[in-house]
Amino acid sequence: MKIALLTAEPLHAADSPVVRGAHSLAGRTILQHQVALAIADGCERIICLSEQPPGELPALRDLCAAAGVHLRVVSQARHLPAFVSSGDLLLVFAGGVVCDSDLLATAPASGPIVLALPADSALPLGFERIDADRAWAGVLVGRGQIVQELLHLPEDIDPASSLLRLTLMNGAPVVNLQAGVLRDGRITLVRNAEHLAQIEADRIDNLAANVSFAAPIQAIIERVTVKLAPRLLASSNWPVALPATSLALMAVALSLGWQNLTAAALLVLAVSGALNVAARTLARVSGLELYNASRRRLWSALRIGNAAALIIIVAAAFLPSVPGAFAWFTAAALGGTMELGRHRLPANLASAAGDQVLLTTILLLGHMLGFLAPVAMLITVTIIVLLLFYETARKHLTTE
């Protein structure tokens, strides 16, 4: 079994650079981010080491329950051996450490490892020294047996630091990360509230800068959402409110479309799609996507629902003037090629084909100009031609 160990508060000097895990980053506490990382890494149990139950304990329990992971709070390090067996793997986070999930992929699935950073870059930021050239990155995987050895140490030890030393003494390999992960904010040790505010600002800037404009309308929505994320994430209702509003608007769009109010239907559907993009973006910023598989299924369901609504609205717009079978065939071909293009075209073109808000807006403009059918068929034919071209090129390269 893989078990994660988190430290909710420092157990040593008050002037320690390591703060309690209750400070918020992107709308979630440091502990909640660590819980998300642990669940994404496959941990089946999470132990939170805290002298007092952390204030966000109910939220932590909810996050773990949603992922089917058991959470236990332990007040002292000497109690840990009762919950960790020698055959377990133990994922340990230093207090205040937040990192990207892909850095944890560096660790082998069935063995110990210690992540390290260059000492000259990491020590000034509060990371703990390993040796003359390296500092601990605040994340390690050790054998469960090292927890038993804590019983032989004084009670006032720093548990994470002690587990680091024991893991190294047991011969765990050290993986050296580049200093660039610090500059990019992919791994961070929060020192104080001012430092946390700077981290959040840098994180928002990096996320906004990395938004691809291959899907232009979606990119604009993502950039605006990222910039507004600190304020939007302050509300705990957004994971329900945004998808629910998107779904409600989808139903309104279907009703309008069936009444042949096509322009209004397409406009409302575009807003529904925009809210879905905003909700997915906030989930990525907050780390919600990391551990909540049901949430990822919800994004997919809303996307499929949006595509189905678009097919029905377009078909309903055709019905007064063209035979029913042709209207439904044309609308279904449009929706099908959009989805196929999203999966089969090269990355940039796939992003454009998957930008539902963009394509809905194009169809809205086409309808307002009196060319809905030609625009729909042009989009369909364009995607089909691109698919044929790239599939032929792919097969030609494969045969060579």
On whether residue 233 sits in a domain, the answer given is yes
On whether residue 91 sits in a domain, the answer given is yes
The verdict on 166 and 242 lying in the same domain is no
Distances in Å between the Cα of 154 and the Cα atoms of 158, 161, 165, 168 are 10, 13, 14, 19
The verdict on 89 and 153 lying in the same domain is yes
For the ranges 62-71, 83-92, 128-137, 200-209, the lowest mean pLDDT is seen at: 200-209
The C-alpha atoms of residue 22 and residue 26 are separated, in whole angstroms, by 13
Residue 117 or residue 12, greater confidence: 117
Indicate the average pLDDT of the chain.
83
Say which residues have a Cβ less than 8 Å from residue 73's Cβ, sequence separation at least 6. 8, 47, 48, 49, 50, 53, 54, 57
The tokens of 214 are what?
A: 């291959």
For the ranges 3-12, 159-168, 329-338, the lowest mean pLDDT is seen at: 3-12
Neighbours of 332 (CB within 10 A): 16
The verdict on 160 and 225 lying in the same domain is no
The verdict on 91 and 221 lying in the same domain is no
Question: Average pLDDT of 254-263?
Answer: 92
At 106, is the pLDDT very low, low, confident or very high (cuts 50, 70, 90)?
A: low
On whether residue 207 sits in a domain, the answer given is no
Say which residues have a Cβ less than 8 Å from residue 203's Cβ, sequence separation at least 6. 25, 26, 185, 285
Check: CB of residue 245 under 8 Å from CB of residue 275: yes
Residue 292 or residue 358, greater confidence: 358
On whether residue 272 sits in a domain, the answer given is yes
The verdict on 116 and 265 lying in the same domain is no
Question: Average pLDDT of 390-397?
Answer: 76
The tokens of 313 are what?
A: 């609205």
The verdict on 185 and 219 lying in the same domain is no
The verdict on 129 and 235 lying in the same domain is no
Check: CB of residue 94 under 8 Å from CB of residue 189: yes
φ, ψ dihedrals at 116, nearest 5°: -130, 155
Say which residues have a Cβ less than 8 Å from residue 102's Cβ, sequence separation at least 6. none
Residue 124 DSSP label: G
On whether residue 259 sits in a domain, the answer given is yes
Phi/psi-derived region of residue 20, left when phi > 0, alpha when psi is between -120 and 50, beta in every other case: beta
For the ranges 112-116, 294-298, 306-310, the lowest mean pLDDT is seen at: 294-298
Residue 200, pLDDT above cutoff 80: no
At 19, is the pLDDT very low, low, confident or very high (cuts 50, 70, 90)?
A: very low
Residue 16 DSSP label: -
Count the domains in the chain: 2
Angle between helices 193-209 and 262-286 (to 10 degrees): 140
The verdict on 183 and 262 lying in the same domain is no
**Which residue among 132, 164, 195 closes a domain?**
195
The verdict on 143 and 237 lying in the same domain is no
The C-alpha atoms of residue 60 and residue 54 are separated, in whole angstroms, by 9
The verdict on 99 and 31 lying in the same domain is yes
User: Which of 90-99, 113-122, 204-213, 287-296 is predicted most confidently?
Assistant: 113-122
Alpha helices in the chain (DSSP H): 30-40, 57-67, 101-104, 119-122, 145-148, 159-169, 180-183, 193-209, 216-232, 238-258, 262-286, 288-291, 293-318, 324-344, 347-353, 356-368, 372-399
φ, ψ dihedrals at 173, nearest 5°: -70, 150
Angle between helices 216-232 and 193-209 (to 10 degrees): 170
Question: Average pLDDT of 124-153?
Answer: 89
On whether residue 138 sits in a domain, the answer given is yes
Question: Average pLDDT of 13-28?
Answer: 53
The C-alpha atoms of residue 245 and residue 253 are separated, in whole angstroms, by 12
Say which residues have a Cβ less than 8 Å from residue 241's Cβ, sequence separation at least 6. 235
Beta partners for residue 48, in sequence order: 6, 73
CATH number for the domain that contains residue 275: 1.20.120.1760
**Which residue among 195, 228, 261 closes a domain?**
195
**Which residue among 139, 162, 195 closes a domain?**
195
| Residue 313, domain extent | 212-399
On whether residue 218 sits in a domain, the answer given is yes
| The predicted structure's pLDDT at residue 16 | 45
The C-alpha atoms of residue 297 and residue 307 are separated, in whole angstroms, by 15
Check: CB of residue 196 under 8 Å from CB of residue 25: yes
For the ranges 9-23, 98-112, 351-365, 370-384, the lowest mean pLDDT is seen at: 9-23
The C-alpha atoms of residue 340 and residue 379 are separated, in whole angstroms, by 13
Residue 62 or residue 198, greater confidence: 62
The verdict on 152 and 49 lying in the same domain is yes
For the ranges 12-21, 222-231, 285-294, 345-354, the lowest mean pLDDT is seen at: 12-21
On whether residue 80 sits in a domain, the answer given is yes
| The predicted structure's pLDDT at residue 379 | 92
| The predicted structure's pLDDT at residue 288 | 59
- Chain segment 356-389, per-residue pLDDT in tens: 999 999 999 999 998 998 999 999 999 999 999 8
The verdict on 112 and 252 lying in the same domain is no
Beta partners for residue 32, in sequence order: none
